[in-house]
Amino acid sequence: MSQSLAGPPAPAGEGSAGAPSARRTRKAVFGAWLGFFADLFDIYLPVIALAPASAYFAATGVSESTQSAISAAVFAATLVGRPLGALLFGNLADRIGRRRITVISVTGFGVTTLAIGLLPGYQQIGMTAVVLLIALRFIDGVFLGGEYSSATPLALEASPKHRRGLYGGVIATGFPVAYCSIALLTFGLLQIIPAGGIDSPYVQWGWRIPFVIGAAISVGFAWWYARNVEESPVFETAPDEPDTPAKTPVRELLRGRTGRDFLQVFVLTTGMWFTSYMLTAVLPGLMKTQAGLSPTQVTFTLIIANALVVLVYLGGGLLSQRLGRRPLLIAGGLLCAIIVPVPYTMIAGGRVTSFGGVLVLAVAITLLISVPWGCLTTYLNERFRTGVRASGYGLGYSLGMVVPAFYAFFQTGLGQVMPHRYTAVALLVLGGLLAVTGALLGPETRDVDMTAESAEAA
């Protein structure tokens, strides 16, 4: 690959491009973690920070079904944008380098997040405000899909084989840390800037503060990354391939043996996202409606659970280094299909209503579902060769979100044959079984040599 795209030369005392030093590796891993943190921080902004101020963009004088459709579009816009971003930027990261694409994509979603934070509301410009919000969330999703498609492969390609499991777990902790950070920030702001009617301080301007902070984190990270992180040593030493349409990374990803590998990854991640959505999108609502918890109690429960998820991710990464990625993925799927439905059913059925009891059950559910996620990042990157790794990882991770994103429709259909409050349990079991199937269809990857010459290592 062209050396002109590799970024600044290695400082004195650092390893060569083919043998990265510990310092170079640490910077790459920290950069991937911080990028993932910024990514998830921006993802949760409309879910957590904007939720108390939803009246600011609420269209008045429209039917309830139209309002529901608008809310769904705001949520879905980013989900649609992420696979497109992974397709676009993953392809570019495989062709011109991971480092450059990371800087571009993070800067992009930082600027987009700032633009959302400056939007006027429905009272000022009417339906245009809603359209702009949805459009910016879509653009945000495109850039977000580019971040993890480039920064994470760079970090793991720069990591020694015996530490890839741990470093993958470290990068994954950016998700729960981001959730806890924005939840605590929003909770603190609501204590001093109350939210109420359309004219309340938080609804008018307080919600903008987390968006400005998110934009500052993203742009600041892009500046630091450009100055401190070098290009992947594996990408630098990979042999050049003819730059023709027939050799585009995405096309290479979807054909032959690599295409079968991608299909296996898609089955695995689809199952895992089914379990994740039942955790993040459905369980909080059940804690309110079935267990009677207040919004403050639900928020506290989720913060505690996600703080402990950090330990699960780190432990999962370390355990996968000793036992292998595949056994941990299979075990995680079995936990979701067999064990997790028990406490989930207890909450959904309203059998436990005390705050302490629900707290224990919700934390147990969160930790058990999180077990395989500690090694998923590493596993997905190890499944693809250098020339298609960014595309394979980005698309494999993001396309798996698409089918589970329609969980509400699946629940409606299942509600015809079973009580609606238990439909999430059925989807949880389905997700666990799909994850097990996907893991069984794939090989063990712990000992894969992530170099340009290891195209057939997996």
- Residues 233-257 pLDDT 10s: 888 776 555 443 445 777 888 888 8
Q: Do domains 21-229 and 244-441 have the same CATH topology?
A: yes
CATH of 244-441, one of 3.90.1150.10, 1.10.10.10, 1.10.3720.10, 1.20.1250.20: 1.20.1250.20
CB atoms within 10 A of CB 80: 18
Structure confidence at residue 43 as a pLDDT band (50, 70, 90): confident
pLDDT at 422: 95
N-terminal to C-terminal alpha carbon distance within the chain: 22
List, for residues 410-458, the tens digit of each pLDDT value.
998 999 999 999 999 999 999 999 999 999 999 999 998 886 444 444 3
Q: What is the distance between the alpha carbons of residues 415 and 282, in angstroms, rounded to a whole number? A: 14
pLDDT at 240: 56
List, for residues 315-362, the tens digit of each pLDDT value.
999 999 999 999 999 999 999 999 999 999 999 999 999 999 999 999
pLDDT at 451: 67
- The pLDDT of residue 387 is above 90: no
Structure-model confidence comparison of residues 11 and 435, the more confident one: 435
CB-based contacts of 182: which residues, under 8 Å, 6+ apart? 41, 44, 45, 48, 49, 210, 214
List, for residues 271-320, the tens digit of each pLDDT value.
999 999 999 889 998 999 999 999 889 999 999 999 999 999 999 999 99
- The pLDDT of residue 144 is above 50: yes
CB-based contacts of 437: which residues, under 8 Å, 6+ apart? 267, 268, 271, 333
DSSP code, position 340: T
pLDDT at 405: 84
**Taking Cα atoms as reference points, which of 211, 161, 218, 238 lies closest to residue 31?**
218
| Domain 21-229, classified CATH 1.20.1250.20, yes or no | yes
Q: What is the distance between the alpha carbons of residues 238 and 256, in angstroms, rounded to a whole number? A: 21
Q: What is the distance between the alpha carbons of residues 264 and 440, in angstroms, rounded to a whole number? A: 9
pLDDT at 309: 97
CB-based contacts of 455: which residues, under 8 Å, 6+ apart? 385, 386, 387
Mean pLDDT is lowest, of 1-5, 45-49, 123-127, 328-332, for: 1-5
Q: What is the distance between the alpha carbons of residues 399 and 274, in angstroms, rounded to a whole number? A: 12
Q: What is the distance between the alpha carbons of residues 301 and 308, in angstroms, rounded to a whole number? A: 11
Q: How far is CA 74 from CA 45, 107, 210, in A?
A: 12, 22, 18
Q: Does residue 117 contact residue 206 with C-beta atoms inside 8 Å?
A: no
**Taking Cα atoms as reference points, which of 173, 145, 160, 216 lies closest to residue 30?**
173
pLDDT at 393: 94
Q: What residue ranges do the domains of the chain occupy? A: 21-229, 244-441
